[in-house]
Chains A and B, each alone.
Chain A
Amino acid sequence: MTEHLSRQYDADLEAIRSRVLQMGGLVEAQIHSAIECLANGNVELMLRVSENDRRVNGCEIEIDDACVHLIARRQPAASDLRLVMAVSKIVTDLERAGDEAEKIARMARQIHERGRLQIPRAADVRHAGELAVAMLRRVLDALARLDAPEAERIIAEDATLDDAFRGIVRQLVTYMMEDPRTISTALDIVWIAKAIERIGDHAKNVAEQIIYIVHGTDVRHTAREASRYGQGEPDGAE
């Protein structure tokens, strides 16, 4: 980062980045707990996930506020402006990923309250969930290090998670056809798998913003670049 006349300005910029990363860490823990809930049906943990979601939402508002203040007071230019703009988009993605975590915890609670101990495809869902958490963790590391090549790799990896989601759905369909009594539980599982897949998409969006911070001079150009990595999926479809 370039040296500024005001040390305070540098400190402000750095503080914003640190807060985003802290928020990311919280979301990461949320997703991890939510997936844990699904496996062990721990009601206390489920409630804690719902409780913590409020903290995540609070973070989003605070950081957005800090961004607006910084723009108003310092009129950042060039890479600083890119950082601030990207951060305000990243917090939205992180907040939504947090919502997905809360959704997973809620679904897990429903499934366990229904008293079904045998959860179909539980291992696959868990695996996909771990994949999503790993993606988010790596993207946050890349944001801390401003590591664009790593961000590109993460964008490419999102396809694996999409495949995992499709695989789970396919198997659940056969499961439901064999025994219609399992439909309601199986549908909940589909929702959970979808939420996990969405978390992967949010991680991918964050990765795109990292590329924008590092290289980007133009948003549209970066979007085109990113969609090439995402194997031609148009941005609007997500």
Chain B
Amino acid sequence: MPPVWTALLLRLLAAVLAGLTFGLAFGAVAGLSAAAAALFIMLLAHTVQLARLQRWLKAPVEREIPDAGGAWGKAFADLHRLLREERKARARLEADLEVFSQASEASPDGLVFLDADDHIAWCNRVAEQHLGLRGERDAGLPVSNLVRLSGFADFLAGAREGEALTFRPQDRKGKVYSIEAIRFGRDRKLLISSDVSQIERAETMRRDFVANVSHELRTPLTVISGFIEHMHDDPNPDPAEWKPQMDMVNEQAGRMLRLVDDLLTLSKLEDQAQPPAEETFDVRDLIYDVSAEGRRLSGGRHSITCEVEPTFLKGSREELRSAFSNLVSNAVRYTPAGGRIVLRWNLRDGKGVFSVEDSGIGIPEEHLPRLAERFYRVDRGRSRASGGTGLGLAIVKHILLRHQAALEIGSVPGVGSTFGASFPEWRVRPLGARRD
């Protein structure tokens, strides 16, 4: 039997006993009165406790739970325990919620929780940035009122898995976001926005690259196939008569070959993260080699000189030779006959700097930042006429990157250009310095 009932029975028993005692001593009336008085006192005590409970319930503060003895005391103690447990549970829940919201904030993607009517329930800061929302202020507003993208309402209504909407905000140039809607719970939705600007840009670059390569290969191929067709129609071709055409075919085939070689070099450079077989070598040998190559290409039309500080350089000799000779052949190509080209190697603040200075046509400043892009050309006609593939500087840049070196370009139109490569301190050691 529950203790409350036991207590009640005991008290009732006490009242009956008191009534009986009084009844036996002073008669029936006195006995009943005594029993009634005892019951009345019991009722009063209960009512007082009930009133205290009601007063407390109006403004429930945990510390002010009334205190009492007996059955009421037990009830109040239970209430106390209940409240304490609930407080703990709430604290735990709040902590969980905090962790959850921190996790949502930490997400690199924008997250927007929507309620059943597609109104914003909550969003993280990334979503605010991506979609132009203002977190707390916009809570409760229909999301499509703020993201006014054509087709967005239909997209929300459909909300199929794996379906994404592209969002290009007009106030932020070049930014592209991909928005996905995921259903969860009972007709609630989660919007996920991710920044795909980089991916888009890479995709555009790849497309441009393919288009450029095709175009570059197509031009010489058109020339070659044109001549072959002509020769085909000639019933008895005279080799002497066809000599100039054959020379041209040969030249164009050479150009295609160079282009394909450069493409292969580039793709090899991209495939391997580390330069193969690094060695430490005397940079003088390399620069003298490259300058000799430059003189052969120039055929005596330019004066090519070297100024080299004796130094050891650590790196892939083959790759660096390719990079340096690309810079030198560019200088030869873009410098009019009679110009001068200087190859320098010196140490600047511990860094090793290779530079090729020419007195060539120079490059307008606006082109400089894009110069090392594949197939980027300042003057299309000229560079092709001089036999360039449009990939030389891209290869140079790649090789230098692999050697933690930076490509530095300075140019004044009409005066000349300087292409430099500066190598980090740890790759160079002055010749004659003690090895440590």
Contact = CB atoms under 8 A, between A and B. Distances in A.
Contacts of B146: 141, 144-145
B142 A25 contact: no
Interface string B121-147: 000000000001010011001101110
B131 to A, nearest CB: 11
Interface stretch (A14-22, A101-109, A164-172, A228-236): A14-22
A32 interface: yes
A18 B142 CA distance: 8
Interface stretch (B30-38, B56-64, B148-156, B401-409): B148-156
A107 B153 CA distance: 32
A29 B149 CA distance: 8
Nearest to A141: B146
B155 to A, nearest CB: 13
- Specify which of B138, B145, B146 lies most central, judged by the most chain A CB atoms within 10 Å of its CB: B145
Nearest to B169: A137
* Main secondary structure on A side of the interface with B: helix
Interface residues of B, number: 15
Nearest to A35: B170
A32 to B, nearest CB: 5
B175 to A, nearest CB: 14
Contacts of B141: 144-145
A154 B138 CA distance: 19
Contact of A21 (B134, B138, B145, B170): B145
B171 interface: yes
A53 interface: no
A26 interface: yes
Interface string B157-201: 000000000000011000000000000000000000000000000
Contact of A133 (B138, B142, B170): B170
Contact of A32 (B132, B142, B170): B170
B150 A29 contact: yes
Contacts of A137: 170-171
A141 B137 CA distance: 12
A26 B142 CA distance: 17
Interface string A127-157: 0001001100100110011000000000000
A28 B148 contact: yes
A17 B150 contact: no
A126 B132 CA distance: 23
A24 interface: yes
Contacts of B170: 28-29, 32, 130, 133-134, 137
Contacts, number: 40
Contacts of B153: 22
A167 B4 CA distance: 91
A147 to B, nearest CB: 8
A153 B148 CA distance: 21
B150 A25 contact: yes
A17 B171 contact: no
Contacts of A141: 132, 146
Contacts of B148: 21-22, 24-26, 28, 140
Interface in B195-243: none
B407 to A, nearest CB: 31
Given A25-B148, A145-B137, A134 B142 contact: no
Contacts of A140: 148
Nearest to A14: B142
A144 B147 CA distance: 10
B145 A144 contact: yes
Contacts of A24: 148
Contacts of B144: 18, 21-22
A27 to B, nearest CB: 9
A136 to B, nearest CB: 10
Interface string A151-187: 0000000000000000000000000000000000000
A14 B117 CA distance: 11
B150 A18 contact: no
A108 to B, nearest CB: 17
Interface string A114-127: 00000000000000
A32 B148 CA distance: 14
A151 to B, nearest CB: 15
A24 B146 CA distance: 11
A28 B149 CA distance: 10
A145 B138 contact: yes
B127 to A, nearest CB: 15
A130 B173 CA distance: 11
A134 B150 contact: no
A227 B153 CA distance: 36
A43 to B, nearest CB: 21
Contacts of B134: 145
Nearest to A134: B171
Interface in A25-47: 25-26, 28-29, 32
A15 B54 CA distance: 47
Given A21-B144, A22-B144, A145-B146, 4 more contacts: A22-B148, A26-B148, A29-B170, A141-B146
Interface of B: 132, 134, 137-138, 141-142, 144-146, 148-150, 153, 170-171
Interface of A: 14, 17-18, 21-22, 24-26, 28-29, 32, 130, 133-134, 137, 140-141, 144-145
27 contacts: A14-B142, A18-B144, A21-B144, A21-B145, A22-B144, A22-B148, A22-B153, A24-B148, A25-B148, A25-B150, A26-B148, A28-B170, A29-B150, A29-B170, A32-B170, A130-B170, A133-B171, A137-B170, A137-B171, A141-B132, A141-B146, A144-B145, A145-B134, A145-B137, A145-B138, A145-B141, A145-B146
Q: What 7 A-B pairs are tightest by C-beta distance, nearest first?
A: A25-B148, A144-B145, A21-B145, A32-B170, A144-B146, A18-B142, A18-B145
